[in-house]
Amino acid sequence: VFLTKEQIMNCMLWVPNWDGVIPQPAIYKPRPRWTGKQLISMVIPKEVTIFNGTDSGESAPLKDEGLLIQAGQLMYGLLTKKSVGASAGGIVHISYNELGPEGAMAFLNGVQQVVTYWLLQNGHSIGIGDTIPDAVTIAKVQAHIDDEKAEVARLTAMATANELEALPGMNVRATFENKVSMALNQARDKAGTTTQKSLKDSNNAVTMASSGSKGSSINISQMTALVGQQIVEGKRIPFGFKYRTLPHFTKDDYSPEARGFVENSYLRGLTPSEFFFHAMAGREGLIDTAVKTAETGYIQRRLVKALEDLSARYDGTVRNSLGDIVQFLYGEDGLDAMIIENQKLGILNMSNTAFEKKYRLDLANPPEWFKHDYEFGNELTGDRPSMTLLDEEWERLVHDRTRIRAINRAKGNEEMMQLPLNITRIIESAKRVFNVKANDRSNLRPSDVIPAVQNMLDNMKIVRGTDPISLEADANASILFK
């Protein structure tokens, strides 16, 4: 989205606590233009820094996939339910952790004001035009359906001729049903993917699904490509009449359309038999929802009743109303679950050589950059006390990495860790506050840094006490971030 000077000036008046300065336009020639990202960045707190890859793990700035917010500036990516909603590691969560409840509230109010004004000016609607695919897509979807229907016909012929081999733990009938369901589901998935690719990013249904406000890719493909197989009690539509589902079909008809496969989309409209099958599956869904609501509500009530008198006390224990101890330390580590964030350590799956290259500094034989990029480079080369300090630090790093790897083995060697401190953001905030650039020359000696960091870690006490049990509990609770 590009905004003119008039538009951006109007929008700025809705930014709470605006300082009166309009940001530099993203485009100067032929006319100044501001981006929507610049506008929304005005309400994101400076303390927020987020980097999220796409579902595949990579981020693609050119396609606007993934998300990067640096010091409150949205660099690329879309603000979706995942990043602005009630999810861990989102903007609201980070604003709360960094700025407390007032900061999180200020962000929500700011977004609300700016977005409301934006929608007032631009609007958002969805119409039948958003569900109409082009002729090429229609042909491709039909081809996918025809392919899989041919596969079902082949399976039916094999089953009739008694040539179908039963899968382990199933009889021939169950095997037939299983293979037919797989084929028809594949038709739905392929058709859905084809349709998704053909729709533009500006399509209103796609916009709603990708932002997470309403709908999903399944809803879009059902409106545009095909509705798909209807399921009742986890199976294809069963025979309700004698050897058939409806009087519209002959007896013993096991074809897709006779057992509830809807090959039309909502846009094209359903045939009478398709409509009936869809109503059957829909009815089951309604009943299921009504029953689930009652069941989950009752389960939750019983849980609340069981837990309502538990509280974390000032001595760190969790006790009930009678003072009986339930846990000696809340959650066994004393950490507040509200401030925990998912973080990638990035050192666990790294090879030993790469780890040493990145984190070890040998003053006896320093690397090339050490002397000219570092203020005390010449002075510290071959300095004994500093060498001892750095060697001890290196041994500590190797020891800690080995311990965390051992802990992590039980989790299947995941690089993700749940930590109560976001180490990357602490460093980024310090760099911003003290105006430290990435290519600045450092004027800190190892003798300044290493003891100060160690001292800070030693002062981080979670479990107070000097007895062996307290010391062990404290070590267990803080090992991941120390």
Give the bridge partners for 228, in sequence order: 262
Per-residue pLDDT at 206: 92
| pLDDT (0 to 100) of residue 199 | 92
Distances (CA, A) of 59 to 39, 51, 53, 74, 419: 22, 9, 5, 14, 23
Q: What is the pLDDT of residue 475?
A: 83
Q: Around Cβ 369, how many Cβ atoms within 10 Å?
A: 9
Does 414 share its domain with 397?
Answer: yes
Phi, psi of 418 (to 5 degrees): -95, 110
Per-residue confidence (pLDDT) for residue 436, from 0 to 100: 85
Q: Are residues 371 and 330 part of one domain?
A: no
Residues linked to residue 52 through DSSP beta bridges, in sequence order: 67
If asked whether residues 188 and 234 sit together in one domain, one would say yes
- What is residue 57's predicted lDDT score, i.e. its pLDDT? 61
Q: Helices (H), strands (E): how many in the chain? A: 16, 14
Residue 93 tokens read as 């969560």
Q: What is the pLDDT of residue 73?
A: 92
How many C-beta atoms surround the C-beta of residue 25 within 10 A? 17
Q: Are residues 352 and 463 in the same domain?
A: yes
pLDDT along the chain (482 residues), means of 10: 94 94 94 95 92 71 86 91 88 93 95 96 93 94 94 93 92 93 92 91 92 92 94 93 94 93 95 97 95 95 97 92 93 87 82 85 76 72 81 89 84 79 86 83 81 88 84 82 76
Whether residue 301 lies inside any domain: the answer is no
pLDDT at 352: 86
Residue 274 sits in the same domain as residue 381: no
Is position 300 within any domain? no
What pLDDT, on a 0 to 100 scale, did the predictor assign at position 58? Answer: 67
Question: What is the Cα–Cα distance from 316 to 465, expressed in whole angstroms?
Answer: 12
pLDDT of res. 9:
96
CB 221 within 8 A of CB 192: yes
β-strand partners of 325:
319
Residue 380: give the domain boundaries: 340-478
Rounded CA-CA distance 229/467 in Å is 65
pLDDT at position 287:
95
Asked whether residue 295 is assigned to any structural domain, the reply reads: no
Residue count of the chain, please give it.
Answer: 482
Q: Distance (Å, rounded) from C-alpha 228 to C-alpha 265?
A: 8
| HSE-up of residue 84 (Cα within 13 Å, Cβ side) | 22
Residue 90 belongs to a domain:
yes
Among 122, 157, 178, the domain-final residue is: 122
Distances (CA, A) of 60 to 41, 67, 86, 344, 402: 20, 9, 25, 19, 34
Answer whether 25's CB lies under 8 Å from 6's CB. Answer: no
Q: Are residues 190 and 232 in the same domain?
A: yes
Name the residue among 81, 77, 87, 88 with its Cα closest to residue 111.
81
Residue 369 and residue 469: Cα distance in Å, rounded?
A: 46
- Note whether residue 298 is domain-resident: no
How many domains are contained in the chain? 4
168 and 240 fall within a common domain: yes
Residues 230 and 346 in one domain: no
Q: What is the pTM assigned to this prediction?
A: 0.83
**What is the rounded radius of gyration, in angstroms, for the C-alpha atoms of the chain?**
31
**Residue whose pair of structure tokens reads 């460093």 in the numeric block:** 427
The confidence score (pLDDT) of residue 159 equals: 92
User: What is the rounded distance in angstroms from the CA atom of residue 10 to the CA atom of residue 72?
Assistant: 21
Residue 196 and residue 209 in contact, taking contact as beta carbons nearer than 8 Å: no
Beta carbons within 8 Å of 62's beta carbon, 6+ residues apart = none
Give the β-pairing of 228-229 and 73-77: unpaired
Helix boundaries (H) for 212-251:
217-224
* pLDDT for position 422: 86
Q: Report which secondary-structure segment, H or E, holds 62.
A: none
9: domain CATH number is: 1.10.274.100
- The predicted pLDDT at position 278 comes to 97
C-alpha distance across the termini of the chain, in Å: 44
| pLDDT at site 386 | 82
CATH of the domain at 248: 1.10.132.30
Which of 232, 168, 220, 170 is closest to 193 using CA atoms?
Answer: 220
Please report the pLDDT score of residue 125 as a whole number. 94
Q: Is the residue at 291 inside a domain?
A: no
Q: What are the Cα distances from residue 32, in Å, to 3, 39, 43, 64, 425?
A: 9, 14, 22, 22, 33
| Residue 236 and residue 360 in one domain | no
